[in-house]
Structure 1
Amino acid sequence: MLESAASEEVIELGLKQFVLALSVALSVTALTQLIGRLRQVPYTLVLVMVGLALAFVDIRLVELSPELILLIFLPPLLFEASWNLKWGELKRQLIPVCLLAVFGVVIAVLGIAFGLHQVAGLSLTSALLIGASLAATDPVSVTALFRELGIGGSRLSTLTEGESLFNDGMAVVAFGFLVGLPLGTATLSVQSVLLQLVTVVGIGIAVGGVVGFGISYLTQRFDLPLVEQSLTLVATYATYLITEDLGGSGVIAVVVAGLVLGNYGSRIGMNPRTRVIVSEFWDFLAFFINSIVFLLVGDQIRYEGLLDNLGLIGVTVLSMLLARAIATFVLCFLSDRMTQSQIPIREQTVLWWGGVRGTVSIALALSVPVVLPEREDIISIVFGAVLFTLLVQGLTVKPMMIKLNLLDDQLVREEYLELAARQFALNRVLERLQSDKQPDIDPEFYRYQEALVKGEIDQTQTKIDKLKGEHPNLVSFIVEQFQEELMEVEANAYAELVKLGRLKEELSPTLEAALQEEGNQA
């Protein structure tokens, strides 16, 4: 009875802490939309600053642990990001994404470790663990930041989000290997490292693919939106847990499952209404978790630890930025030589500076075994570096993009897409007015409504023509959008035939190959 009572008290205390943290997070998020100046700052960064203020007065809402981050928060955030990542765009940027996700992590680990060991005199073991913790750009932070800046769906967004989704698995593998060196559970050899890497990544891809395609075919058998929505949530956690139990990378498995379900399963197994319901559910869940995570990141800071290690944090930040610069510019240069797609230097600059760290780095730092003597210093240094990337890089990436004329281009594209969507919707209304005239309604009413809608269509077209005249580069974007629309029509046709049982699997996109061949000839 005593054990049962104690367990109930723990559950009640945990629930109260969770509700308190959620209430604070949602209140802060609401205030950012009400106060004019705060609207210019991403709400995730405002939450970090509020968390820092709470930590300063020693108010701890919830004790953040690696298990809480890696098992509860991270899987749904990874799934939501990969669900919304377009495979067609990712495939076009696959070589630079893979180069940055694999070799970028190696360069970051070695660069940070070199700076801390050679310059600051930190032990090699601690330097390597800090390097592994900070090697990966964080998908939670990167995705939230870039979407708030309004650049979701662009090539820069695809490169940044794709890299951050895949390099997490690489960083976790590197950290697991390096943490085993001082404990005597791992040996340093190229063969063992490559074997472990292939095993972990291979298991992750295999499990994620099996779960993704399995649920894709399962949802073809019925049309129950709430059940299909629940299946995606269960699949997210099940994929992560099963893969980790098998010795693979749960991060990579969830990303693969999300990519398959978002780009394949949602087409062949879900009708349009269900896709909207599932997408809205994951948008809500990502917002819900992000609000808590970024508040708790700031709330976990121990100021005394930061002050004691201020010099080491400075060396870490400089080493991290230098290693990130080498990885970004060198690997993008190699990518340009290997592919037809060129990454402009201004996009590479944002790719370098926008590589913020976040929850994954904190989870890895908190995972350092207690038996290691420098554990507390490692945690403080990683927390300090993460805060720098979130507050300094996170707050300055938007001005940098404006200075480089990247955000302006994206805002123009967003404005065009909104106008085109409005014109498309108004044309649908006009078609309805002209084709479905009911005898009980006065014909004069129809004429008036048609004139009103035609006037709105003409005004929208005038705005589109003006926008194209002011921004000539918009024309090439419109052509790209139309080509993507044609390829989407082709892909949906294959998916519909699969759903009807007239095809066993989707065919290769003929139109995409033809367009690529035409581009090469040009």
Structure 2
Amino acid sequence: MNALGPFDVAAAVVVCAAVFGYVNHRFIGLRQTTGLTIMGALASLAIVAVNALWPELSHARELVESIKSIDFHATVMDGLLSFLLFAGALHIDLQTMRRSAWAIGLITVCGVLASTALIGGAAWLALGLAGLGLPLIWCLVFGALISPTDPVAVLGILKSAKVPAALEATVAGESLFNDGVGIVLFTLLLGMATGAEEVSAAGAGRLFAIEALGGAVLGFSAGWMAFLALRSINDHNLEVLITLALVMGGYALAHSLGVNGPIAMAVAGLIIGNHGRRLAMSENTRDHVNKFWSLIDETLNAVLFLLIGIEVIVILEDWRLLLVGVVAVPLTLAARAISVGFPMLALKRGKSLPPGSYSILVVGGVRGGISIALALALPGGPEKHVIVLATYVVVMFSVVVQASIVGATARRLFAP
């Protein structure tokens, strides 16, 4: 039998995601992300079991080896993140978000930095006490990748609960921008952990400025050029193609210039999602663009949740490591409460947000696809094993427990 190629592995993952998604939707009824994660783990358990019990069945063995050989860092960092952030930015209303800009900026920057430090420091102490010591820099890498929130499902719940527009815009805006800040911080810390970047305050600050500000400038420029192109034509197929070219070409250009591609695509998405929708697209084009990028977003999230379920079983050599994830859950919740709490205290005098916003921001800080993508993008090694397992448990708790109580909390606080 010929070895499985990249296309074979990709085909197997997409087919599994489609089949599991159908089974979950038709017969089980869990949230799609939760169902895919659980079934992905069960499927990978079955593959590993077949490989152990019947080693002569080369298909199972080759599939396991192929999954182990996937270059998740190149796949995720050089592709998937740009699509995810562009798709998320398309749905952000800049006019509403502008009224909460101070709150979003403070919670995003201070929140992500504080959360990274709190989670990283606490994880380092906890792992040391448990005899599973991980260097502090790697604990900070975990703190950076688990700090960004991903409340796609939460926003739908908040809309149905009729929370104030300012709070809804803050949740959406914070999610978008803390993804960007978190990714830049993750890239910086990962470079330090692997020895690729200089470990100094000046070097860190310079890299952060180049990555973040350079990415924002590139995203604005590329997004504006795409907006001008969209405004000059009226052909929905070509306009959808232009948005796809914007993401792929813009990300490739960002990579070659050494600036942050995900931030560039988030800014470009804001331009197309606001000025582009309102001033450059017909109703027919808006409908096609929305459906196309919604499909991309749903598909990539499904694949990511399935992949982490498979990856966890493949790398799990010591079941005691799952305790790391169990410890990481309360650490993450506590860090979220603290990192949101201090900015909220600073905002209290200006009354930028309605009463009850703190509870929604804490409970609604759901972790999802971005954290999974960053965890999968780590280079191979014992550190990756620990961080992927901790991320898996935190994300599972987040999508199963946190997402299920956001609606009840919102209705209790804002019901008329």
The interval holding the TM-score normalised by the smaller chain is 0.7 to 0.9
**What's the CA shift for 1:401?**
2.8
Residue aligning to 2:234: 223
Does structure 2 conserve the Cα–Cα contact (< 8 Å) formed by 1:356 and 1:389?
no
Does structure 2 conserve the Cα–Cα contact (< 8 Å) formed by 1:78 and 1:254?
yes
**Separation (CA, whole Å) in 1 of partners of 2:289 and 2:402:** 31
Residue aligning to 1:466: none
SS of match in other structure, 1:404? helix
Residue 250 of structure 1: which of 248, 258, 261 is its match? 261
**Separation (CA, whole Å) in 2 of partners of 1:178 and 1:213:** 31
Residue aligning to 1:15: 7
Deviations 1:134-175 (A, max 9, x none): 2322x3xx3145447765995544333322222222223223
Deviations 1:299-356 (A, max 9, x none): 211373462324433333332222111011222222233x4422433x4223223323
**Separation (CA, whole Å) in 1 of partners of 2:18 and 2:178:** 30
**Separation (CA, whole Å) in 2 of partners of 1:28 and 1:157:** 31
Between stretches 72-81 and 174-183, larger displacement belongs to 174-183
Does 2:124 correspond to 1:113? no
Residue aligning to 1:331: 343
**What's the CA shift for 1:185?**
4.3
**What's the CA shift for 1:203?**
0.8
- Residue 26 of structure 1 aligns with an amino acid whose one-letter code is A
- Residue 53 of structure 1 aligns with an amino acid whose one-letter code is L
The two structures, once aligned, show a CA RMSD in angstroms of: 2.9
**Consecutive unaligned residues in structure 2, runs of 5 or more:** 49-62
Residue aligning to 1:143: 152
Deviations 1:172-205 (A, max 9, x none): 3223322333555434443332222222111111
Residue aligning to 1:28: 20
**What's the CA shift for 1:19?**
2.7
Residue 82 of structure 1: which of 86, 89, 99 is its match? 89
Residue aligning to 2:53: none
Residue aligning to 2:99: 92
* Aligned 1:246-285 pairs, distance under 5 A: 246-285=257-296
Deviations 1:247-272 (A, max 9, x none): 21111110100110110022222222
Does structure 2 conserve the Cα–Cα contact (< 8 Å) formed by 1:350 and 1:400?
no
SS of match in other structure, 1:196? helix
Deviations 1:386-411 (A, max 9, x none): 223332221223442344243896xx
**Separation (CA, whole Å) in 2 of partners of 1:89 and 1:356:** 22
**What's the CA shift for 1:45?**
1.0
**Consecutive unaligned residues in structure 1, runs of 5 or more:** 1-5, 410-470, 474-522
Does structure 2 conserve the Cα–Cα contact (< 8 Å) formed by 1:297 and 1:359?
no
Does structure 2 conserve the Cα–Cα contact (< 8 Å) formed by 1:223 and 1:270?
yes
Residue 71 of structure 1: which of 63, 78, 81 is its match? 78
**Separation (CA, whole Å) in 2 of partners of 1:269 and 1:354:** 33
**Separation (CA, whole Å) in 2 of partners of 1:405 and 1:247:** 42
* Aligned 1:205-224 pairs, distance under 5 A: 205-224=216-235
Q: Which has the higher contact order (CA 8 A, sep 6+)?
A: 2
* Aligned 1:88-237 pairs, distance under 5 A: 88-121=95-128, 122=133, 123-137=135-149, 139=150, 142-144=151-153, 146-147=155-156, 151=160, 155-237=166-248
**Separation (CA, whole Å) in 2 of partners of 1:262 and 1:152:** 24
Does structure 1 conserve the Cα–Cα contact (< 8 Å) formed by 2:366 and 2:398?
yes
Deviations 1:491-516 (A, max 9, x none): xxxxxxxxxxxxxxxxxxxxxxxxxx
**Separation (CA, whole Å) in 1 of partners of 2:25 and 2:170:** 29
Does structure 1 conserve the Cα–Cα contact (< 8 Å) formed by 2:222 and 2:268?
yes
**Separation (CA, whole Å) in 1 of partners of 2:376 and 2:13:** 20
**Separation (CA, whole Å) in 1 of partners of 2:193 and 2:398:** 33
Residue aligning to 1:392: 397
Give percent identity, aligned residues only. 24
**Separation (CA, whole Å) in 1 of partners of 2:115 and 2:299:** 31
- Residue 115 of structure 1 aligns with an amino acid whose one-letter code is A
- Work out which of the two has the higher radius of gyration on C-alpha atoms and give 1 or 2: 1
Residue aligning to 1:316: 328
Residue 210 to residue 383, structure 1, CA distance change in 2 (3 Å): same
Does 2:52 correspond to 1:43? no
- Residue 7 of structure 2 aligns with an amino acid whose one-letter code is L
**Separation (CA, whole Å) in 1 of partners of 2:269 and 2:193:** 36
**Separation (CA, whole Å) in 2 of partners of 1:401 and 1:194:** 36
**What's the CA shift for 1:51?**
0.6
**Separation (CA, whole Å) in 1 of partners of 2:140 and 2:279:** 45
**Separation (CA, whole Å) in 2 of partners of 1:129 and 1:256:** 24
Does structure 2 conserve the Cα–Cα contact (< 8 Å) formed by 1:45 and 1:390?
no
Q: TM-score, normalised by structure 1?
A: 0.68
**Separation (CA, whole Å) in 1 of partners of 2:389 and 2:198:** 30
**Separation (CA, whole Å) in 1 of partners of 2:207 and 2:362:** 28
Does structure 2 conserve the Cα–Cα contact (< 8 Å) formed by 1:362 and 1:382?
no
- Residue 8 of structure 2 aligns with an amino acid whose one-letter code is K
Residue 19 to residue 187, structure 1, CA distance change in 2 (3 Å): closer
**Separation (CA, whole Å) in 2 of partners of 1:230 and 1:110:** 41
Equivalent residues, number: 390
Residue aligning to 2:364: 354
Q: TM-score, normalised by structure 2?
A: 0.83
**Separation (CA, whole Å) in 2 of partners of 1:152 and 1:235:** 35
Does structure 2 conserve the Cα–Cα contact (< 8 Å) formed by 1:211 and 1:239?
yes
Does structure 1 conserve the Cα–Cα contact (< 8 Å) formed by 2:153 and 2:403?
no
Does structure 1 conserve the Cα–Cα contact (< 8 Å) formed by 2:73 and 2:377?
yes
**Separation (CA, whole Å) in 1 of partners of 2:307 and 2:171:** 24
Does 2:391 correspond to 1:383? no
Does structure 1 conserve the Cα–Cα contact (< 8 Å) formed by 2:112 and 2:181?
yes
**Separation (CA, whole Å) in 2 of partners of 1:290 and 1:73:** 9
Residue aligning to 1:55: 44
SS of match in other structure, 1:222? coil
